[in-house]
Structure 1
Amino acid sequence: MVLILATIVLAVAFGWRDGFAALARAPLAGRIVLIGIAALPLLQLVPLPPALWQALPGQDLRRMTLGLAGLADSWQPLTLEPAATALCAVTAIGFVTFTGWLLRLSEDDFRRLLLVALGLVLLGISIGLLQVFSDGQWMVLQAQMGATLLGFFANKNHMALVLACSVLLFGLVVSRQSPWQGRRRMFVGGYTAFALVAIVVTNSRAGLGFGALAAVMVLLDLARGVPLRWRVLAVVVVAALVVAVVSSSAFEIVAGRVDNVSDDLRWRFLGWSWPLAERYGWLGSGFGSFRTLFITTEQLSWVKPTEVNAVHNDYLQLLIEGGIPAMILLTLLAVSLVLALGRFRHLLRRSSARHQLLFGLTAILLFGLHSAVDYPLRRPAAWAFFALALAAVYRNTQNHPTSDGWGGEAA
């Protein structure tokens, strides 16, 4: 109820002030995507005449069920799970509203908000350390998972993903502010090492890869203009750190889970869920409907003590729940990012726009990779960082800064 009320208030305030003007800061493809994200779940809630919804694929069970109550000829929405789709519509509108507010911020306010985001990550790490040291007895905010660093999250993979994004945020953007410029490389190297250790303690297999990719991006940026002897020394230090981490008991737990990746049930979910994509892939079954639909097709041999809440591949689930219209929006999102990548090549090397754009594109890449094996964008706590990354891209797509907005850059 709090989420719904807050979303309505902020969305109305955003539209009342200059919402459409703020969205205009995004490229045309990006504007279509943002509007579509908010509109598509709402369109799935529009009641349709019986002749229309009954003609859609996959409606046989629905028609028979409603027929038992004498409602087979009533008007029904496209979605098969209206309550879940309505909640998805609220969160989708919240995402678009949040992204819109980020687009309308001044440059100084946006930089301050990036600092706030980094501060929240550090606070989450502090809470997570208490969770680890107490073996999951202290500061349990979402889920009880023992000595696992979760912070504010209920999912360790999402916590690890946000930690990897924070490495990019600090290393590529925040560290260029004046408080860190004198010893930027030392601070960036220290935070990167600290965040990687925290990722190991999350016990997330995917997080290891995301953290490594983020660290490589940041270290490559730091190495620009550095003499060869210092690069060799940095490699030695990083190698020593890797050896220390690999030798830890926390890493042994994660490594054991990596060895078992081939037995993970999420690979079976793809095959089990594909018939739903074939049935509902044209217009979608309605956002938030997968869990209910999967139960209706689940075979007895598939039943486990746990419930299948998602496909663990958001691209396939997007096709099931959103159909071709959702895939068109996904394609337009990719087009807007490709256009931003082309603009990146023409920005000055020392400009803040280039640094923010690089952070945004790389963070979105991490989310894109994670979405192939999980569902990070279905959790508001995780998509807040995706919104930051998307805003960082769209804010700098149409501008050509001629100076470094951070007041200069250390070598």
Structure 2
Amino acid sequence: MKPIAGRRGLSPSRTGQGGTAADPVDHTAGIVPVVLFVAALVVLAMGGGSNRTDVASLLYVRPLLVLLLGGMLLFVEKAALRSLRVPLLLFALALAVGIVQLIPLPPAIWQTLPERSLFVEAAAAQGLPQPWRPLSLTPDLTLQALLWFTAPACALAGWAAIPRNRRIQVFVAILILCMTSAVFGALQASQGADSPLYLYQRTYEGNAVGFLANRNHQGALLAIGFPLLRVWTLLPAKTLQFARARLIMAAIGAVALIPMILLTASRAGLALGGLGIVLAAIIAPWRDIRELTGTAGRYVPLLFAAAGIALAGLIVFFGRALAFDRFLALSATDDLRVRFTPQVLSIIKAYLPFGSGLGSFDPVFRIFETEDMLRPTTYNHAHNDFFEIAMTSGVAGIALVAAGIAWWAWSGWQVFRDRSRLGIGMMLGRAGWSVMLILMLASIVDYPLRTPLLGFVFALSAAWLASAGYRPAGGVALQHGAPPVDEVGQAGSLQEFNH
């Protein structure tokens, strides 16, 4: 059987030295950082699907992440950080914004900040001297927000610590996370509101939420499954039979994701799922499918698309398409996101240029909440993370978001424009760009990235994108005529057969 060419060639070691065919293969080399990475992912799946202050699982999630992060850092080499310069810089600056907000300021300076008069009057009414206060109005919640950074830190450190020839295993782990959460959510929905499989007390009982507490967040997680499955079909395979079997499994998985998204009852998830399908289609040319399936391969995408549409139609017919029903019943006047947006924008303006402090949205919103906004439940987030970042971190947060989006757009242009290095690393870069797009769009109507689990996935996707676009200066020279080696240590083009 003719092997796929993605397996040909030897991956260089982490020191940049090439191997020889006679060298013994150490299958355990680099396994420890992979184990630490997967352990962090499991911890987040089991308890990092919500970031509320009253979630008990965070009591063990955060300490475990700190320990795992420390272990990963032991395996990080300086050279591995070069490709992650931009994500690490943005991460460090965002962390610095929160730390600066906790520095106490003298009363003479603090009282001049916008919208502090209420607190000044409260102290004066009690006859108390004005104390030194930090910029954040809620320093305890700002500290809580800073603890969130342990999740993306683990993702970036883990990617840097894992040897290039094992980075495919990281990608597969994220794909398994998506598909497992889909199955887990289906079991929750099938058992109803009293299902013991719900991991959080505050959740959407009766809906498929998987490893998360919010149905919109689950919808976003499932939507990224489509581009990930597409990249999975492009990975090197030992035999043609395995490549064909993987293609079939990926197609079945993609079709199965459609009813799983419908079961979430998430309108955003429904729209993002459609986007995920489009992104999967543009990640790479479809000629590999024809090569694997022969002349009939041109009809394979159409066949599975028809199967997905038919399955979705059955779900709608039997009344289980909760997301579709809510989409048809959508009313802007009844959506609190739309109704409260003018007030949120006024709060943003009130606290510029410094913001009210990370994590302070809930108590600060109550200060500005009018009588007609009162509800039995709390409006604990802006349901638009871009607005909430602007409100809580001011101009600094707005600048960081703008810089991050600009880097994402430029890097995306590079990885989709570059057709000279269509290796695994480039495909991972396109997948990372796609995942970031889905999660950023989800953040317009909700707050998925505030969950440690999706924050981890987002940071890892940024690492994929950064690694794909990285070209080391004065890198290791390749033999004449040899194909380029990409960031995951694989040489050769994808799904190209040796003849």
Task: Answer whether contact 1:80 1:289 (CA < 8 A) is retained.
Answer: yes
- Percent of matched pairs sharing the same residue: 24
Q: 1:292 and 1:21 mapped to 2: Cα distance?
A: 44
Match for residue 134 of structure 1?
191
Aligned to 1:242: 309
Of 202, 207, 215 in structure 2, the residue corresponding to residue 156 of structure 1 is: 215
> Is the Cα–Cα contact under 8 Å of residues 173 and 352 in structure 1 kept in the other structure?
no
Which of the residues 343, 349, 354 maps onto 1:278? 349
Cα offsets for 1:231-288 (capped at 9, x unmatched): 4563354235313313423554322211232231111121121111011121110011
Cα separation, 2, equivalents of 1:17 and 1:349: 28
| Structure 1 Cα separation of the partners of residues 76 and 297 of structure 2 | 50
Deviations 1:57-101 (A, max 9, x none): 110112122334455521100000011000111112442343233
CA distance in 2, matches of 1:11, 1:53: 36
Within the alignment, does 1:196 sit opposite 2:255 as a pair?
no
Whether the aligned pair in 2 keeps the contact of 1:22 and 1:100 (CA below 8 Å) is no
Q: CA RMSD in A?
A: 2.7
Q: Which amino acid is the alignment partner of residue 193 of structure 1?
A: V
Q: Give 1:338-353 correspondences, 5 Å limit.
A: 338-344=409-415, 345-348=417-420, 350-353=422-425
- Structure 1 distance, partners of 2:357, 2:108, is 19
The CA deviation at 1:325 is 0.4
Deviates more, 1:286-295 or 1:133-142: 133-142
> Counterpart of 2:271?
209
Structure 1: segments with no counterpart, 5+ residues: none
Larger Rg: 2
Structure with the greater relative contact order (CA < 8 A, sep ≥ 6): 1 or 2? 2
**Using the alignment, how far apart are the partners of 1:377 and 1:237 within structure 2?**
31
1:370 aligns with 2:460: no
Name the structure 2 match of 1:76: 133
1:402 to 484, 488, 491: 484
The aligned amino acid for 1:402 is P
Q: Map Cα deviations across residues 292-345 of structure 1 (whole Å, 9 max, x no partner).
A: 001111111111122101111111111000100011111221232233224312
Is 1:61 the equivalent of 2:118? yes
Unaligned runs of 5+ in 2: 1-58, 473-482
Name the counterpart of 1:296.
367
Does the CA-based 8 Å contact 1:121-1:166 persist in structure 2?
A: yes
CA spacing shift, 1:35–1:322, aligned 2, 3 Å: same
CA 1:223–1:12 in structure 2 vs 1: closer, same or farther (change >3 Å)? closer
Distance 1:357 1:33 in 2: 18
* From 370, 379, 386, the counterpart of 1:308: 379
> Matches of 1:17 and 1:52 in 2, distance apart?
44
- Note if contact 1:269-1:312 (Cα within 8 Å) is conserved in structure 2: no
Work out which of the residue numbers 223, 232, 254 in structure 1 matches 2:286: 223
Distance in 1, matches of 2:129 and 2:460, equals 45
More off after superposition, 304-313 vs 179-188: 179-188
Q: Which whole-Å CA distance do the structure 2 matches of 1:19 and 1:60 have between them? A: 50
Deviations 1:76-133 (A, max 9, x none): 0000001100011111244234323323322233211222222233332332222122
The alignment covers a number of residue pairs equal to: 410
Label 1:132 to 1:32 Cα distance change in 2 as closer, same or farther (>3 A).
Answer: same
Equivalent position to 1:260, from 315, 329, 333: 329
CA distance in 2, matches of 1:237, 1:16: 45
Measure how far apart 1:7 and its partner are. 4.6
Letter in 2 for 1:359: A
The letter of the residue matching 2:309 is V
Question: Which segment is superposed worse, 209-218 or 80-89?
Answer: 209-218
8 Å CA contact 1:280–1:323 kept in 2: the answer is: yes
Secondary structure in 2 matching 1:24 = helix
2:84 to 15, 20, 26: 26
Give distance in 2, aligned partners of 1:70 and 1:53: 18
**How far apart in 1 are the matches of 2:178 and 2:321?**
25
CA distance in 2, matches of 1:250, 1:120: 28
| Equivalent-residue separation in structure 1 for 2:448 and 2:130 (angstroms) | 38
Q: Residues 185-234 of structure 1, C-alpha deviation per residue, up to 9 Å, x if partnerless?
A: 42322111111221111111111111111112223446346499754563
Larger displacement relative to structure 2 (260-269 or 302-311): 260-269
- The answer to whether 1:110 aligns with 2:167 is yes
* 2:457 partner amino acid: F
Answer whether contact 2:114 2:352 (CA < 8 A) is retained. no
Conserved 8 A contact 1:162-1:385: no
Distance 1:355 1:410, change over 3 A: same
Equivalent AA in structure 2 for residue 272 of structure 1: Q
SS at match of 2:149: helix
Letter in 2 for 1:138: P
SS of the residue aligned with 1:121? helix
Shift of 1:19: 7.7
Q: Which moved more, 1:123-132 or 1:171-180?
A: 171-180
Letter in 1 for 2:210: G
1:49 is matched with: 106
Q: What residue identity is the alignment partner of 2:326? A: R
Alpha-carbon shift at residue 10 of structure 1 (Å): 4.7
Inter-partner Cα distance in structure 1 for 2:309 and 2:135: 52
Q: Equivalents in 1 of 2:359, 2:401: separation in Å?
A: 17
TM-score by length of structure 2 reads: 0.75
Q: Is the 1:45–1:79 contact (alpha carbons within 8 Å) kept by the matching residues of 2?
A: yes
Distance 1:209 1:368 in 2: 13
Shift of 1:164: 1.3
Distance verdict in 2 for CA 1:3–1:188, change over 3 Å: closer
Check 1:351–1:32 CA distance in 2 against 1; reply closer, same or farther (3 A cut).
same
Q: Report whether the alignment pairs 1:178 with 2:230.
A: no
Please give the secondary structure, in 1, of the residue aligned with 2:131: coil
Any conservation in 1 of the 2:76–2:160 contact (CA below 8 Å)? no
Question: Which letter does structure 2 place at the counterpart of 1:88?
Answer: A
Distance in 1 separating the partners of 2:495 and 2:217 = 32
CA positional deviation for 1:13 = 5.4
2:29 is matched with none
User: 1:255 & 1:105 partners in 2: Cα distance?
Assistant: 41
Can you list the C-alpha shifts for 1:113-170, whole angstroms capped at 9, x where unaligned?
Answer: 2222222333323322221221132312124534321111100111111111122222
